[in-house]
Amino acid sequence: MRDPRHDVLFEPVRIGPVTARNRFFQVPHCTGMGYRDPSAEASLRQVKAEGGWAVVCTEQVEIHPTSDITPFIELRIWDDSDLPALEHIAARIHDGGALAGIELAHNGMNSPNLTTREPPIGPVNLPVATWGHDPVQARAMTKSDIASLRGWHREAVLRSLAVGYDLVYVYAGHALSGLHYFLSSRYNSRTDEYGGSVRNRARLLSEILADAREAAAGRAAVACRITVNELLGDDGITRAEIEEIVGELAELPDLWDFVLGSWEDDSVTSRFGPEAGQERYVRGLKKLTTKPVVGVGRFTSPDTMARQIREGILDLIGAARPSIADPFLPRKIEQGRAQDIRECIGCNICVSGDFTMSPIRCTQNPAMGEEFRRGWHPERIRPRESAARILIVGAGPAGLEAARALGQRGYDVVLTEASRELGGRVAAESRLPGLHTWRRVIDYREQQLRRMANVGTYLQSRMSAGEVLGYLGPNGAGKTTTIRLLLGLIKPTAGRALIFGKDVQAQKVAVHARVAYVPGEATLWPSLTGAETLHLLARVHGQTDVGYTGELVERFDFDPSRKVRTYSKGNRQKINLIAALASRADVLILDEPTAGLDPLMEQA
């Protein structure tokens, strides 16, 4: 049952001509898929819609060849040939039950145009402002260029409506957009009606917003994404300037999407930015407009989200990274399952893919980016396919996730960890200054495992190849029966026994070739000598190391020249142990191997 304190998060919100079913809004964010893999992006967005996000948006979508940001891979809406991919994405979002938003963008001086070789354009003549520091010069836009830009954007709006989008963005944020460069005095030193005063610098934004509303004609909402503070003091967009801009354009868009600084400031890591870290920059701006406002802050706590609404800071809870870590975050809050949320740790591995031109991934959500290619889902997983019991050695993040996933599938799982705590290196890293949120990687999985009766966790249980495992129990507990099952000497009443993945009943020869066995009581040939017995056993196995046999004879202080019938029980057991060890088998199965040995020999 949902916590009534969170009811406010599930109120519908009117956004122009459309209505969001709740206040959860997946803001535009990149995936590294774009035009290269739109089917993967469509599946990713659908899962989020299924998870309860009322609005699910694309990444920024380039509207024209003069906005080519190669090598970065985004979506494009240059012409009609791009529409099938965009239509597929919108349809999949609708299939999940959400409104589909598209962020139309012209990147201006952030566009090196390495593929199209078009001259970059901006408010003035300046080097392009790209992460790649491309040696390209942007030229100042003429009035004709400005008219063309307005036309390109209008055409992009119409194309977006034609393929089913419910909300279209006008992008003026993050120091990535041509409109941002016009708004900021840092880039805009024009002396005509598009430069100088705040009103003049906002003129192009005003015109494009008006164009978008006219083109949408009530069929879709129009959103404005804008930087509220460049964090550069008087050298950039200031609070006073943004208040003037929002106040002047207050009712022009149907939705305001407030972002902070450049892209790096808006996606700050948890080490340098707490949850709701943008609140102090956004607070109060909502009073300047009657239109709904969305903002981000790496929100993972439903209490913090509800406070944003109740205190009039935001109308919609925006999220990129939290929706990546847990696409079902809204659904879990709605169902009163906040403890099951995979909270974003703010490590930014998701956005690191932008710099390697690779698809998105997530520390918390291993299904992220694999929804289409592998058919993975963050909440649903196929049931177990056998009665196998699983041993996982090492309870670092990967071991914990493997145990959680296999446990969810229904397998009986044993998770062992050599140290005294779960989490591997993350346990240590999360104790470093500013990295406490990384502990969520462990906490989420640990509490999930505690609720799985089929998963056992064992600390201080070091395991590695070559180690001896003791199988203990009182007489009659079934130790010897278990060994006989493993050797294929008796059939199990249910299930299967596997060694190295091979069925011990159906593949006995292959299993026995890699196994050496010492029973608790073995009958040997009484008339043979110890040496003859060892030689015979070696011939039977076929893989004995003769040199190692001699070494073992010395280490066991064994006299191989005597007849077997003259040996004590302990000496007969030495023959069995020497033969088994000298076989160099991959697995030794020993049933009470020290029976009959003197205490000093047991220790040796």
Decide if 382 is inside a domain: no
Would you place residue 152 in the very low, low, confident or very high pLDDT band (cuts 50, 70, 90)?
very high
pLDDT at 477: 62
Average pLDDT of the segment spanning 190-215: 98
Decide if 450 is inside a domain: yes
Decide if 484 is inside a domain: no
Residues 77 and 213 reside in one and the same domain: yes
Distances (CA, A) of 407 to 381, 415, 421, 450, 456: 10, 11, 20, 11, 10
Domain-terminating residue out of 309, 335, 355: 355
Domain that holds residue 537: 514-603
Quote the mean pLDDT of the chain.
Answer: 92
Dist CA 388 CA 385 (whole Å): 8
Dist CA 602 CA 597 (whole Å): 6
Would you place residue 469 in the very low, low, confident or very high pLDDT band (cuts 50, 70, 90)?
low
Dist CA 242 CA 337 (whole Å): 39
Average pLDDT of the segment spanning 309-336: 98
- The C-alpha angle 318, 319, 323, rounded to 5 degrees, equals 140
Residues contacting 323, CB < 8 A, separation 6+: 26, 29, 48, 51, 53, 329
CATH of the domain at 563: 3.40.50.300
Q: What DSSP state is assigned to residue 37?
A: -
Residues 119 and 178 reside in one and the same domain: yes
Would you place residue 588 in the very low, low, confident or very high pLDDT band (cuts 50, 70, 90)?
confident
Backbone torsions φ then ψ of 190, nearest 5 degrees: -65, 160
Residues 334 and 415 reside in one and the same domain: no
Whether pLDDT at 576 is above 90? no
Decide if 286 is inside a domain: yes
Name which residue leads in pLDDT, 483 or 340.
340
Cβ atoms 190, 123 nearer than 8 A: yes
Whether pLDDT at 472 is above 80? no
Q: What is the pLDDT of residues 6-52, one digit of tens each?
A: 999 999 999 999 999 999 999 999 999 999 999 999 999 999 999 99
Residues 229 and 129 reside in one and the same domain: yes
Average pLDDT of the segment spanning 147-154: 98
pLDDT at 479: 76
For the chain, percent of residues with pLDDT exceeding 90: 71
CATH of the domain at 268: 3.20.20.70
Decide if 420 is inside a domain: yes
Dist CA 595 CA 520 (whole Å): 7
Domain-terminating residue out of 414, 432, 458: 458
Number of C-beta neighbours around residue 469 at 10 A: 5
Whether pLDDT at 603 is above 80? no
**CA-CA-CA-CA dihedral for 544, 550, 554, 557, to nearest 10:** 60
Decide if 414 is inside a domain: yes
Among the listed ranges 3-12, 61-70, 297-306, 347-356, which one has the minimum average pLDDT value? 347-356
Name which residue leads in pLDDT, 415 or 587.
415
Residues 81 and 128 reside in one and the same domain: yes
Decide if 553 is inside a domain: yes
Decide if 376 is inside a domain: no
Residues 316 and 420 reside in one and the same domain: no
Among the listed ranges 370-384, 565-579, 581-595, which one has the minimum average pLDDT value? 581-595
Q: What DSSP state is assigned to residue 382?
A: P
Domain-terminating residue out of 458, 482, 498: 458
Residues 328 and 397 reside in one and the same domain: no
Name which residue leads in pLDDT, 545 or 459.
459
Nearest residue to 54 via CA among 244, 315, 289: 315
Average pLDDT of the segment spanning 544-561: 85
What total of structural domains would you count in the chain?
3
pLDDT at 326: 98
Would you place residue 465 in the very low, low, confident or very high pLDDT band (cuts 50, 70, 90)?
low
Residues 340 and 402 reside in one and the same domain: no
Q: What residues form DSSP beta bridges with 502?
A: 499
Residues 422 and 302 reside in one and the same domain: no
Whether pLDDT at 173 is above 60? yes
Average pLDDT of the segment spanning 278-301: 97
Whether pLDDT at 117 is above 80? yes
Residues 399 and 349 reside in one and the same domain: no
Q: What is the pTM of this model?
A: 0.80
Distances (CA, A) of 83 to 87, 504, 574: 6, 57, 78
Q: What is the pLDDT of residues 487-541, one digit of tens each?
A: 888 888 888 888 888 888 988 888 888 888 888 777 889 899 988 988 888 887 6
Q: Is the peptide bond before 71 cis (omega within 30 degrees of 0)?
A: yes
pLDDT at 318: 98
pLDDT at 518: 85
Whether pLDDT at 600 is above 70? no
Would you place residue 396 in the very low, low, confident or very high pLDDT band (cuts 50, 70, 90)?
very high
Would you place residue 589 in the very low, low, confident or very high pLDDT band (cuts 50, 70, 90)?
confident
Cβ atoms 106, 97 nearer than 8 A: no
For the chain, percent of residues with pLDDT exceeding 70: 96
pLDDT at 580: 86
Among the listed ranges 112-116, 558-562, 588-592, which one has the minimum average pLDDT value? 588-592
Among the listed ranges 37-41, 108-112, 260-264, 322-326, which one has the minimum average pLDDT value? 260-264
Residues 403 and 345 reside in one and the same domain: no
CATH of the domain at 445: 3.40.50.720
- Which tokens sit at 18? 């459309």
pLDDT at 31: 95
Residues 397 and 295 reside in one and the same domain: no
Q: Which residue numbers are catalytic?
A: 30, 171, 174, 266
